[in-house]
Amino acid sequence: MSESDNRDPSVIRQLAVTTDDVLAALEARDRGRREAVLRITPPFSGRMRARIHVAGTEGAYEYDGDAEPVHVEPRAFLPDGFPRFPGTGADGWRSAARESLQEQIEVDSSDGPLTVRVRYLG
């Protein structure tokens, strides 16, 4: 892979993310507490890891290229119309969310939308 390729998010084919990170980001967003996202940080390759992150708190990156990280909205991991985090019954919601996590998601990147397979950890 050339150096320019590792700045291009379109090379991503598979994403690994912990189930707990997805659920925590969903809960934070639905409660309106924080703009939590799942962040994919360059350099990019076919298999990447996404970690929970608060949008807007970027700071400096170890990667010295000009590629920007990709932020994945936590709702991308659930089917359309999945209910928001409830005020009560949170345990049932979490169980239903875990069972509803999608095997493929669409990610919005600076180069346009891309579809990736997801492997859930934990």
pLDDT in tens, the chain (122 residues): 444 568 889 999 999 999 999 999 999 998 887 789 999 999 999 999 999 998 777 655 555 567 889 999 999 999 999 999 997 888 999 999 999 999 999 998 877 899 999 999 98
> For residues 89 and 10, what is the distance between their CA atoms, to the nearest angstrom?
39
| Single pTM value for the model | 0.86
Residue 121's pLDDT is 96
